[in-house]
């Protein structure tokens, strides 16, 4: 079974066209950059989300879902691969 068929990615696809993908890509790129230094996806998410607190609060469910996907699948297939799957799911 493909990761893209998992519940989290099905929920993520519901946001297609409803979020600014260029801004989401920027946030995910920052998470990836920080992750390369810290090697801790949770701390990278917290660090980057702190810079976008207003946006995060406005779209809490969406960003909670992004966090869940990153934390669940990054150890399995790598953060950069998960980020690509997220971006492709939103386009």
- Domain residue ranges in the chain: 3-90
Q: How far is CA 75 from the centre of its chain?
A: 14
Residue range 65-75, pLDDT digits in tens: 999 999 999 99
pLDDT at 4: 85
Secondary structure (DSSP) of 5-17? GSHHHHHHHTTTT
Of 41, 46, 49, 47, which Cα lies nearest the Cα of 80? 41
| Position 1 confidence tier, pLDDT thresholds 50, 70, 90 | low
| pLDDT (0 to 100) of residue 2 | 81
Alpha-carbon distance of 59 to 75, in angstroms, equals 25
Q: 12: closest CA among 52, 77, 66? A: 66
pLDDT in tens, 16-67: 999 999 999 999 999 999 999 999 999 999 999 999 999 999 999 999 999 9
The answer regarding whether domain 3-90 maps to CATH 2.120.10.10 reads: no
């Amino acid at each position: 079974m493909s990761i893209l068929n998992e519940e989290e990615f099905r929920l993520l696809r519901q946001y297609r066209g409803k979020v600014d993908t260029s801004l989401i890509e920027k946030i995910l790129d920052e998470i990836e950059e920080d992750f390369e230094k810290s090697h801790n996806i949770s701390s990278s998410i917290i660090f980057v989300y702190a810079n976008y607190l207003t946006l995060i609060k406005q779209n809490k469910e969406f960003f909670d879902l992004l966090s869940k996907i990153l934390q669940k699948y990054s150890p399995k297939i790598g953060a950069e691969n998960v980020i690509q799957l997220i971006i492709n799911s939103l386009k």
